């Protein structure tokens, strides 16, 4: 089949004719790589080669001498054992369908069909997909509120109360760190889960770099998590789509069942380029990790110190504290400093505007924009030039004084008038379980006419892929107002079948 082609109208000869133009992905990627665009986003290798390939890695299949991921006994088994030793697990499994495959396998392998999962409400959409596939009942843990206006940690007290309220819980699942780098008290939560004989699964997709340096939090496995999923491609030098599922020996999980689901959710033709990339990442950590992380910590420290001089732009401190007094935020148990959160409302810019300005005028591509802030994702592969360019851009924006200094580094951050994460992700009434709603008869109506109805589909911002509405939840005027603001700010709303975001499928229930 011939590729679809763009057409360009030309009337220079007095009549319409069309000149065919084709844009191929490989050519566009090559052209983009030759620009000065800087990636403050994943993948974690930041398009740097590191010079660690032994020659050119080739794309192969399961040929003699190269093992089989789904029946690993040779070089792939050795590579996975090496990763387990490096990352501190009892067993580690390569994921070449991303953390999504690991989350699906972990949930399906630990919770029986129709069982109950106690999960953080700010989990990634992949968790919700597993809930649907296994027809699970859910109970939600809601993040604490924070001074900066982002979602905070999950409190152990809430976990304890919910385990008492739902004694039929079969697993607890948290996201730690969050997209914003917020970490929960995994040790305390693991202890509570284990008291009830329940395993703890941690989506640590954004924390693959944890545990390799004192400047970052320790891994969830070190604090008692039973299964942990990490995206090496997000925060370490590895290719997009590569991740790891870590297992800590425990009496609550049937590992063979988890492995069975890995065979279901992973492709039967795993990419040797991706697997070689994971193993190379392991080698880099083992051989150069100490040196690389020391330099990375210093670059981050210097960047945060310089940002304290900004007058109208607020950069959340590495530990999540705000203001000159730098008091502890009770909503943040710990934070990963690699996620740089930038609020430029004091300079007259909401999150999406800031991200667009940095892209268009400074050629700095950020990872995410939310209501009142934007996120620069950094890794040990970021260069000093990159950090310098980001600070120079923020300094230039800060000096433009487009608005009076509502935000100042020496003052408490006032979030009352901001469109914060707490405004976007609020508690919704659950009328139906997710599987019931997704399989129910539905009607499509205008989104803004859906108040009072029960959603039949997901509505989420991507990134980060956290539902604003999940199937089975009641649509309210407050939620619709949130979506109006998101659309007005050009934030990327996904999940609905209507890509334009103008209509919503609702459940036909009395």
User: What are the angstrom distances between the C-alpha of 333 and each of 145, 155, 177, 187, 188?
Assistant: 12, 8, 11, 12, 11
Q: Decide if 144 is inside a domain.
A: yes
From the number of C-beta atoms within 10 Å of its C-beta (0-12, 13-18, 19+), residue 201 rates as: buried
**Does residue 271 sit in the same domain as residue 151?**
yes
Q: So what's the pLDDT on residue 53?
A: 53
Q: Decide if 118 is inside a domain.
A: yes
Residues of the chain predicted below pLDDT 70: 1-20, 50-57, 322-327, 401-417, 510
Last residue of a domain, one of 238, 258, 284: 284
Q: So what's the pLDDT on residue 259?
A: 98
Q: Decide if 483 is inside a domain.
A: yes
**Does residue 157 sit in the same domain as residue 266?**
yes
Q: Decide if 268 is inside a domain.
A: yes
**Does residue 137 sit in the same domain as residue 262?**
yes
**Does residue 130 sit in the same domain as residue 199?**
yes
**Does residue 115 sit in the same domain as residue 204?**
yes
**Does residue 361 sit in the same domain as residue 431?**
no
**Does residue 265 sit in the same domain as residue 156?**
yes
Strands 227-230 and 200-203: parallel
Reduced to 3 states, what is the DSSP secondary structure of residue 71? helix
User: What are the angstrom distances between the C-alpha of 117 and each of 110, 338, 427, 440?
Assistant: 10, 30, 17, 21
User: Which CATH number do you get for residue 134?
Assistant: 3.40.640.10
Q: So what's the pLDDT on residue 42?
A: 95
Q: Decide if 419 is inside a domain.
A: no
**Does residue 144 sit in the same domain as residue 78?**
yes
Reference 453, options 506, 380, 398; nearest CA is: 506
**Does residue 80 sit in the same domain as residue 194?**
yes
**Does residue 503 sit in the same domain as residue 460?**
yes
User: Which CATH number do you get for residue 359?
Assistant: 3.90.1150.150
The domain total for the chain is: 3
State how far the Cα of 244 lies from the Cα of 287, in Å rounded to an integer. Answer: 20
State how far the Cα of 398 lies from the Cα of 344, in Å rounded to an integer. Answer: 8
**Does residue 143 sit in the same domain as residue 218?**
yes
Domain interval for residue 73: 25-284
Q: Decide if 20 is inside a domain.
A: no
Last residue of a domain, one of 237, 252, 284: 284
Q: Decide if 496 is inside a domain.
A: yes
| Upstream peptide bond of 120 is cis (omega within 30 degrees of 0) | no
Instruction: List residues bridging with 469 in a β-sheet.
Output: 459
HSE (side-chain half, CA atoms, 13 Å) at 91? 13
User: What are the angstrom distances between the C-alpha of 101 and each of 94, 108, 203, 260, 459?
Assistant: 10, 11, 12, 12, 21
Q: What is the pLDDT of residues 436-465, one digit of tens each?
A: 999 999 999 999 999 999 999 999 998 898
In sequence order, what DSSP letters do the residues of 29-70 get, joined into one string? Answer: HHHHHTS--EEESSSTTTT--TT--SS------S-TTS--GG
Q: So what's the pLDDT on residue 205?
A: 98
User: Which CATH number do you get for residue 431?
Assistant: 3.90.100.10
Report whether 370 contacts 351 (CB < 8 A).
Answer: yes
State how far the Cα of 387 lies from the Cα of 82, in Å rounded to an integer. Answer: 32
Q: So what's the pLDDT on residue 1?
A: 41
Q: Decide if 414 is inside a domain.
A: no
Q: What are phi and psi of 498, to 5 degrees?
A: -80, 100
**Does residue 65 sit in the same domain as residue 206?**
yes
């Amino acid at each position: 089949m011939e590729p679809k082609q763009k057409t360009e109208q030309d009337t220079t000869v007095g009549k319409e004719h069309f000149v065919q133009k084709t844009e191929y992905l490989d050519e566009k990627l090559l052209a983009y790589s030759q620009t000065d665009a800087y990636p403050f986003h994943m993948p974690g290798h930041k398009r740097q080669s590191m010079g660690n390939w032994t020659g050119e890695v080739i794309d192969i299949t399961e040929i003699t001498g190269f093992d089989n991921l789904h029946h690993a006994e040779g070089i792939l088994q050795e590579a996975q054992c090496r990763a387990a030793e490096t990352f501190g697990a009892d067993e580690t499994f390569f994921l070449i369908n991303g953390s999504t495959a690991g989350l699906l396998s972990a949930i399906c392998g630990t919770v029986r069909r129709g069982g109950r999962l106690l999960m953080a409400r700010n989990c990634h959409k992949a968790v919700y997909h597993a809930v649907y596939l296994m027809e699970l009942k859910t109970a939600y843990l809601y993040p604490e509120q924070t001074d900066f206006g982002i979602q905070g940690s999950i409190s152990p007290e809430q976990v304890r109360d919910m385990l008492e309220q739902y004694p039929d819980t079969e697993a607890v699942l948290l996201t730690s760190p969050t997209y914003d780098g917020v970490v929960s008290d995994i040790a305390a939560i693991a202890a509570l889960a284990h008291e009830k004989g329940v395993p703890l699964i941690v989506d640590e997709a954004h924390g693959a770099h944890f545990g390799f340096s004192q400047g970052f939090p320790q891994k969830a496995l070190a604090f008692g998590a039973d299964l942990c999923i990490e995206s090496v491609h997000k925060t370490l030098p590895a290719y997009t789509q590569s991740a790891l599922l870590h297992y800590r020996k425990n009496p609550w999980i049937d590992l063979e069942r988890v492995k069975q689901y890995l065979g279901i959710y992973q492709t039967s033709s795993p990419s040797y380029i991706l697997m070689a990339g994971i193993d190379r990442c392991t080698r880099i950590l083992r051989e150069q990790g100490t040196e690389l992380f020391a330099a990375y910590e210093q670059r981050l420290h210097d960047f945060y110190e310089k940002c304290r001089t900004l007058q109208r732009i607020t950069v959340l401190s590495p530990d999540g504290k705000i203001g000159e007094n730098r008091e502890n935020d009770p909503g943040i148990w710990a934070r990963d400093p690699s996620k740089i959160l930038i609020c430029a409302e004091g300079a007259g810019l909401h999150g999406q505007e800031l991200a667009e300005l940095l892209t268009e005028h400074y050629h700095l591509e950020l990872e995410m924009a939310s209501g009142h802030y934007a996120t620069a994702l950094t890794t040990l592969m970021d260069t000093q030039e990159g950090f310098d360019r980001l600070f120079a851009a923020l300094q230039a924006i800060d000096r433009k004084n487009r608005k009076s200094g509502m935000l100042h580094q020496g003052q408490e951050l006032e979030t009352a008038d901001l469109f914060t994460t707490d405004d976007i992700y609020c508690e919704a009434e659950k009328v139906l379980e997710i599987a019931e709603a997704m399989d129910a008869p539905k009607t499509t109506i205008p989104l803004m006419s859906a108040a009072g109805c029960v959603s039949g589909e997901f509505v989420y911002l991507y990134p980060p892929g956290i539902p604003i509405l999940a199937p089975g939840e009641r649509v309210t005027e407050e939620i619709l107002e949130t979506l109006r603001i998101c659309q007005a700010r050009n934030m990327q709303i996904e999940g609905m079948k209507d890509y334009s975001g103008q209509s919503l499928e609702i459940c036909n229930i009395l």
